[in-house]
Structure 1
Amino acid sequence: MRRILSIFVALSALFLTLLVPIGSASATPSYCGLTWGSLDKSDPDHSTATLTNVRTGRQDCYDRMVVDLAGPVAGYRAGYVDQVYMDASGAPVSLRGSAFLQVVIFAPAYDNSGNLTYNPGNRNELTNVGGYDTFRQLAWAGTFEGQTTIGLGVRARLPFRVFTLDGPGSGSRIVIDVAHRW
């Protein structure tokens, strides 16, 4: 009887090792290898650059918003908020989605003479994000006193990152990526 029990235990152990994939661990790997969090991100620098464009794109693991600047990169502040508000007036910005990122670029969308350097055709829909995995809406929240605010409605409070890039030419870009999931 002991011998049968020993054989049964050995066969059970062999069977279980075949069911568990090699290399599995108790810690769950992050989605797409992303290690971002959902806490606020910021760079306090200001510059003489002006905002010239806002565009978006879809990637395999995240949705991307790019803010183009005419000049050296400016600072930024991005974080989840309960409500995005218009610069100067404080009026609430209506956004689709279950979570809202407020993106503040420390650069105006006007030049030294007060001429607009970026004037969105539709302030409620800066770009068409229909069919995106995470983005639900990008809305203009204004440009006032040397900074510009954009409201980004997303599917849920998901990890995001912000970074800057030089170019093209003498311009620069601020990039905001929001993961499709945790």
Structure 2
Amino acid sequence: MNRPRRRQATALGLGTLLAATLAFAAPASAAATTAKPATPTTTATPLVVNARWGGHCTYDRVVVDLQGYVPEVTVTPVPKLVYDGSGKPVPLAGRYFLEIRLHPAAGHDEAGNNVYAGPKLVKIYLPKLKGLALTGDYEGYVTLGAAFDTKPAYTSFKLHAPERFVLDVAHPNVC
């Protein structure tokens, strides 16, 4: 092969290689510019927005309202309630306590703004449930504490649309 043809073949090969590289790069950059931005309601970590309670004929109910999905929840009897992080005691009267721990979860958004609108500490006058407190929003865990005068017999479950966690504490019929 003579010299002009060799240069021509080399140029043609380099041109083909460059065109192929640009063809593979173009869709990726085009896709990046056309991707939809995340909506504010979409979050990887569910947000705890409220806690509420109610009395019924044979049980008292605690409901934890969430945005996103209901994460893993553990309900544990504890000898006393303490605030996460500080370890300071929670000033709720009672002889028996349940710790409700949600993970992963947060009571604040990504900007650090509080989204939890429920009670921080409240005394309650139901047959079993005597108090409720937000005891932690710390490192991906949201923790609530519930106080009782007598040992609580409880069940818990998740409900959807809207997302919420429910804790029912049984008591004798008061109706």
**Match status 1:90 vs 2:55:** no
In the TM superposition, structure 1's runs of 4+ consecutive aligned residues that sit over 3 Å from their partners are none
Question: Is structure 2 residue 169 aligned with structure 1 residue 175?
Answer: no
**The one of 133, 137, 142 aligned to 1:139:** 133
Query: If each structure's helix is expressed as a fraction of its own residues, which one has the higher value?
Result: 2
Structure 1 gaps, min length 5? 1-46
Q: Secondary structure at the match of 2:169?
A: strand
Which residue does 1:115 correspond to in 2?
113
Identity %, equivalent residues: 34
Shift of 1:167: 1.2
Distance 2:117 2:70 in 1: 20
Structure 2 match to 1:60: 57
Structure 1 residues 21-61: Cα deviation after superposition (integer angstroms, max 9, x where no partner) = xxxxxxxxxxxxxxxxxxxxxxxxxx621000101011111
Q: Which amino acid aligns with 1:58?
A: G
For 1:74 and 1:158, the matched residues in 2 are separated by 23
RMSD of equivalent CA atoms = 1.5
Given that 1:80 and 1:157 are in contact with CA atoms closer than 8 Å, whether structure 2 keeps it comes out as: no
- How many Å apart are 1:135 and its aligned residue? 0.5
TM-score normalised over the length of structure 2: 0.68
| TM-aligned CA deviation for residue 119 of structure 1 | 4.2
| 1:48 lines up with 2:39 in the alignment | no
Amino acid of the residue matched to residue 81 of structure 2? V
In 2, the alpha carbon distance for the partners of 1:176 and 1:97 equals 18
Q: Does 1:156 align with 2:150?
A: yes
Counterpart position of 1:26: none
Q: Which has the larger radius of gyration?
A: 2
CA distance in 1, matches of 2:65, 2:147: 20
- 1:72 CA drift (Å): 1.1
Distance 1:78 1:115 in 2: 27
Shift of 1:89: 1.0
Shift of 1:79: 1.3
Structure 2: gaps (5+ residues): 1-43
